[in-house]
Chains A and B, each alone.
Chain A
Amino acid sequence: MKCLLISSESAEVLFHWTDPEFQQNVQEQYGASQEDGQGLPAFEDSISTLFAPIIISCSTMVDRLGDSYTSFTTENNHIYVLHQFDECLYIAVNGDGEEDEGDLRRKIYVMKKMIEVMFGMVTLSSSLLRKELRPQDTEQRARLWKHLQSLLETYSHLRENDQSFLVEAVERLIHPTLCEQCIEFLERRLVQQLNSSVERAGEEVLHAFILVHTKLLAFYSSRNASTLSTSDLLALIIMAQNMYPSNIDLDDSNPEDIDSTSGSGPESFYTPEPSPRDGDSSSSADMPVRGSTPVFEFVDPDVQMAEDSLHTLDVPPPDPSTPRRVFLEVSLKDGLYPMMPHSMYCLPLWPGITLVLLTKIPTSAVAMSVYTFLEAFAKLEKRLSEGMEGSAATRGQPTIHDVRNKLDKFIKALGPSEMKCTQLQHVWTEFKSRIARGGSGFNRDLIQSCKNMKTQLCGIYRQCFLIESGPADIPRRLSPGLQERAQTMVQDKLMDWKDFLLVKSKRNITMVSYLEDFPGLIHFICVDRSTGQMIAPSLNITERNTSELGKGPLAHFIKSKVWSLVSTTRRYLQKGYSTVTLRDGDFYFCYFLWFENETGYKLEAGDIPVLPDDSAPIGMLAWDYYRKLLRYYSKNHQGEVVKCYELLTVHLGVIPTEVILQHCRQLASKLWEPSRNPLL
């Protein structure tokens, strides 16, 4: 029984996701009074009515007591977690014991992250975000919500089944030679060719990577690209998985099956998962660059050809030639720019293997300017609301005169044709007239003007990057032909490896190779938090597959132990404990977090901040805890590159503790030794 709800302060539902049990529960409570005919509005109404008292009470508590609800627990162990981001209240509910408070809080943060990736800086203006999340048009709304729901389900599925999403770090396929070849291929052949083509329509490929299911085969960033953060990469993998879900049962079928269906067998291309994703095809239309134009209407001979050559079947995948707009963090020399617009091209090579291209769009400089202005106004607003006035409020970089000049130029550059621009100009003129009086203009009265300016800037941003209309904008993407060529190039390259890769992704590394050296070791996970990469023996638990853990209940049991160990150690880490050992039933669990410098020298354990229970979840997907931790720790290690590692192990309880600790030590040093580094 699960639910996730996003609501405005006035209890307007901005998004909801419920599993069938929760839906049934709500409908039972609401009785059959609602008309059956209109499924969605009726359900939306009832869920809104049921949650309204809680939502209203939340804002009352904030307004009048300055405190807010964080969670509720009932006697039958239903858990409600609440979190407010600006004016949006997120409520996550679990009533089946499958998720704890931490999981629910994480889900809320992940949902917020996905919304940020999809809407960028529009999320900074609550009023605009509200409109974006709840389009007036019910059909459009249904499509958007369906897409978000399916993203959420994809995430939940990955978190429950994929170790890399359990610990929130990227897992690479361990095959150094092939990886190297692929990276070279991406660099020398693919990206170069794409970026020198005229058909790229001003876009520039910054990153290219190949995913085998959720695992990374190769990742290449062009030289002038900033690093793609782990958080963004994980979010993109979720999106790719959502577009082309790995059908576990299919993938785990016998190798013969794969052989028979490989190549160009029509049945193999895309088998949609039966129940929750049945609306996937329609959901694809929610975020195309060309606004609300349905993708299906787009009939392009090139695309048609591409589809023919791929033998796409009855349920077509979302049109791959329409890129998705994603907003990712960019770090440049002059600072960090969050939520910069990119286009994401997700090109399926074979079922389970996907090529992802991330491009910089020609107008992205606008986004940087908008961000700079937004930041300046936010700073000013903060100082004003702290009671500063006059020159005290305008101190700091950039100076208000700087901003003034730049913004004047910016507005001029945008040109009068933009509708929003006239509004921005209007508000800006008003703002200028207020501060024209010099220092005396900077007082509390200016706060509202700051807010207005921010909203206007977000509006411009929305207009530039979320809705691009008019036929003139069509060529703003890699041409379908170019995309197809990229697809074919990589397919040719990997043709001989394809089956191997699909198997390898299921058995990246296996416990077998460790049993001899580490008797009694059942499982381990090792994470390099500085690069956001992890390595762990595969834990495949399917009916048909027998892993080293055996199959059936025992394997499930160990899997559940590993999952709960991760959440337990996170709880201790949140409270400042970086070493945890537990004797639990027949098992002995260890967790270590430590720091090293670049040369591998182990640094002294430092204080780890103690965080409140309702702090952001520890991980890298929704909020990069480890980046903050490294920054905190590096304060005492100036001039040194600090790396952070984590190791989790599961041993049989009968193994003496000294032996277990020796194993841990060996694992910790071995796994990341350059000579044996399996991640290269």
Chain B
Amino acid sequence: MAELMLPDSRRCNYFFLYDGSKVRGEGDQTREGICYFYPEETPLDEQELLCGQLVGTARCVSELSSSPVRILRLRRNKFSIRVKDDFFWALGCSVEVPTISVCELLDQLINLFCFYTGSVRQSYQRNSKESLAARWAQYLSHLQSGSSELHHIFSCLRTIDSTNVDPLLLLKAALILQACQRCPLVLAGCILFRGRVVSTQMSPELTMKVMFHESETYTKPQRPSAPSTFSSFGGAVGSTAVFLTLSELQYVQSAPVDKAFSSHSTPHKSTASKKTRLSRTLSDTPSSSESEPSDPGSSQSAQKLYSPHLSDRSVLSPDPAAPRPLEPPLSNGTLSPEAEEEPQEESFYYSFHSNGDGGSRTHNEGEMPDPPPPRSAAFDLPEESPPIPMTLYLHRVKGLVLALLVEPHFLSDTASMEEVYHCSLASLNGLEAHLRSVSPGAPGAPGPYIFAHLDCIQSTLTSNLSGRPGGAPERPFVRATSLLHSHFCNTETLQEAIIRSAGAAVYGTRSVAQETYFQQHGGSLRNSGIPNHQDSAFSLPGKARHRLLKHGVNLL
């Protein structure tokens, strides 16, 4: 598939990180400040030239405007710029790429680095330039790989094609994640299949970061520097240290996954959950967890389950009154059982922890905000506050990966690890077998229309374009979509637009939660361009409403 994306294979033309603190004195050479430069084969003097000029110009402009530079545009390249302390990042793309996408790509890249490496300054104090350069290269190639041009324009997640997948499988994936979350050390998780999201409890940004590690371990399982694996689990389980920003952590913690299972601020409730966790795993309670949603005459909540990204949505819905269909029946609706069990659970809690890191409890308490502040939707730039170390736990079953964000001491807590491992193993095997058997759908037949539908909240894309080469017939659509997307981003009040060139008429519409683009094929577009209500271009909104219903896109 990668070959098919040739026109876009090098989305980024230049990327560099420059450390101004290394070039202070008169005699210091620019090259000493260059931490990483892409393309790596660029001659050093050209690297120096570009770094020197861009950094100098950016500094001059920010002094004039008393504000950091965001974009430097040249005739052939446009650079997104980020400046943090003495660090200066620049990422250059061809001028055709929408500016907003260039900025997002750079932010993703920096965020990815901070997620796996922590604070940039500290990383460069602790590690060699070369080893970190290798990291930047990996992150960059990960962000440039695979996805279609539309994915790049929208900077969205790659998901499995939910139209080809039995909704029950998606439900199952969501249930696996919920089950894992019963361990108080598990914050949130996601399930990925062959580099695509099946189900996630994390924000799109966080999921995107987790996906990097998945793809790295999948493509290079024997990497020497690979994070530790655990022999006891047959090499299928691994982990790596990661760093969350404060807002990410708050977001993950404040997700309306049953608060009872969260350990940090509410020890009583979390211990209450312990028993539940130990007594129930997904695999041995199929009746209780599946009977309700699989009921065909389902209630509203059950219908919600069929949404492919259900667990994500429930995570994102901060409304406590919203139906929480995936909650184990036991805790559904009432908290009274927990209240009753409280004293008994408390003792269990301490015994549970005594076998691990005895001090972790207090340690956590000092670090975690208590009570967790309300979730903030804004994602700060990394390093606004010191990154908080966490651990990413990965359990791979062939093409399927369960990725969990866990407290660091989860790894030393053998019991918890075993519990999470065993509670999910059977389900993961089953899920993997099912997903593997799903045919990848019939990508070939180009339909009479093209569409792309972006869910802005979940950052997912539905399109009948994916999987096909970004070849000539789709170019006009992609081009129009990219223009319209930029326009929507810049003009809040814009609701819909039709734009027509000689070759194509494209309709775009958006609401707070979604953006949809539609182009009808065939039929002569030949016309005089003079206003004419019988013109086929103006029937696009009606056609889009009609046609897209079967793709689950409701424009009414």
Contacts and interface: CB of A to CB of B under 8 A. Distances in A.
B530 A665 contact: yes
19 contacts: A53-B56, A53-B59, A54-B60, A57-B57, A69-B73, A73-B71, A73-B73, A76-B66, A578-B500, A578-B529, A579-B499, A581-B497, A592-B529, A592-B530, A604-B527, A605-B502, A607-B501, A647-B531, A667-B531
Interface stretch (B74-82, B114-122, B255-263, B398-406): B74-82
Contact of B60 (A53, A592, A593, A657): A53
Sort chain B's interface into a size bin: 35 or more
Contacts of B503: 607
Interface stretch (A60-68, A221-229, A372-380, A527-535): A60-68
Interface stretch (A184-192, A457-465, A583-591): A583-591
A74 interface: yes
B67 interface: yes
Interface residues of A, number: 63
A370 interface: no
Given A70-B75, A584-B491, A608 B502 contact: yes
Given A581-B498, A584-B495, A67 B74 contact: yes
Interface string B53-67: 100111111111111
A101 to B, nearest CB: 9
Nearest to B496: A583
Interface in B420-443: none
A296 to B, nearest CB: 39
A572 B480 CA distance: 9
Nearest to A581: B498
A387 B57 CA distance: 35
Interface stretch (B272-280, B347-355, B444-452, B532-540): B532-540
Contacts of A67: 74-77
B531 A72 contact: no
B70 interface: yes
A661 B57 contact: no
Nearest to B483: A575
Interface of A: 25, 29, 50-51, 53-54, 57, 60-61, 64-65, 67-76, 78, 80, 93, 95, 568, 571-572, 575-585, 590, 592-595, 602-608, 612-614, 647, 657-658, 661-662, 664-665, 667-668
B222 interface: no
B415 interface: no
Pick the 4 closest A-B CB pairs, nearest first.
A664-B531, A605-B529, A602-B528, A661-B533
Contact of B531 (A75, A577, A612, A665): A665
Nearest to B103: A73
B529 A593 contact: yes
Interface string B480-499: 10010001000101111111
A579 B502 contact: no
Given A67-B74, A72-B69, A61 B494 contact: no
B502 A57 contact: no
Given A53-B56, A661-B533, A605 B498 contact: no
B68 interface: yes
Contact of B69 (A68, A74, A614): A74
Contacts of A582: 494, 496-497
Contacts of B56: 53, 57
A594 B73 contact: no
Nearest to B82: A75
B50 A65 contact: yes
Contacts of B549: none
A595 B526 CA distance: 13
Contacts of A592: 529-531
B15 to A, nearest CB: 16
Interface in B67-98: 67-77, 95
B339 interface: no
A29 B60 CA distance: 12
A54 B491 CA distance: 31
A196 B55 CA distance: 66
Contacts of B75: 67-68, 70, 612, 614
B49 interface: yes
A61 B493 contact: no
Contacts of B62: 74
A594 B530 contact: yes
A661 B531 contact: yes
Contact of B67 (A74, A602, A613): A74
Nearest to A70: B73
Interface in B455-514: 479-480, 483, 487, 491, 493-503, 505
A175 B35 CA distance: 70
Nearest to B525: A605
B541 to A, nearest CB: 8
B53 A61 contact: yes
Nearest to B53: A57
A526 to B, nearest CB: 11
Contacts of A54: 57, 60-61
Nearest to B58: A72
Contacts of A590: 531
A53 B57 contact: yes
A50 B531 contact: no
B65 A78 contact: yes
Given A68-B75, A594-B528, A80 B61 contact: yes
B528 A604 contact: yes
B70 A74 contact: yes
A75 B68 contact: yes
Contacts of A75: 67-70
A80 to B, nearest CB: 6
Given A53-B57, A584-B491, A658 B70 contact: no
A578 B95 CA distance: 22
Contact of B72 (A72, A579, A580, A593): A72
Contacts of A613: 73, 95
A89 B138 CA distance: 40
A76 B505 CA distance: 35
A634 to B, nearest CB: 15
